[in-house]
Amino acid sequence: MPSLPDMTKHRGFPGGMPGTGVQFTIRRANPRGVTPIKALPRKARPGTKEHRIDAAFLHALWHHFGAEPFERGNLDAARLSLLFGREVISATKEFDPLSYEAMLVIDEKVARKNFPESFEDVFEV
């Protein structure tokens, strides 16, 4: 079996949203290759379960990393892709969507507008 690529594991970051089966992190690197991060259309409207999950993920990102750039690492590509290009953007010009080392940052202005609840101290699940 080929060795898996190195991947930063964000210790203390929530693994997912309780009671939903939705994951926020992955356990190990994908042996078939890195899942690319790409902006996906978001169909979730405020008040829906999907919007709440996106808000919870953004809340976790904000309270774990704040306004500082962060490495993609073991963060789930699907969850990131739903925020990518809007609330989460590349922190560098040389963004590689196929790298676990890609640097990202929260676009605080856009994120606060779209998910104000994510910036509260406590997020009720």
Domains contained in the chain, number: 1
Tell me if 23 is assigned to some domain.
no
Q: Is the pLDDT of residue 116 over 80?
A: yes
Tell me if 24 is assigned to some domain.
no
| 30, 47, 72, 114 from 107: Cα distances, Å | 28, 22, 15, 11
> pLDDT tens for residues 46-58?
888 899 999 999 9
Tell me if 124 is assigned to some domain.
no
Tell me if 20 is assigned to some domain.
no
Q: Is the pLDDT of residue 1 over 70?
A: no
Handedness of CA 85, 102, 57, 76 (dihedral sign): positive
Pick the residue with more confidence: 30 or 63? Answer: 63
8 A C-beta contact, residue 103 and residue 71: yes
Q: Is the pLDDT of residue 2 over 90?
A: no
> pLDDT tens for residues 64-99?
999 999 999 999 999 999 999 999 999 999 999 999
Domain limits for position 76:
49-118
H or E segment and range at residue 16: strand 16-17
Q: Give the burial class of 109: count Cβ atoms within 10 A of its Cβ; 0-12 exposed, 13-18 middle, 19 or more buried.
A: exposed
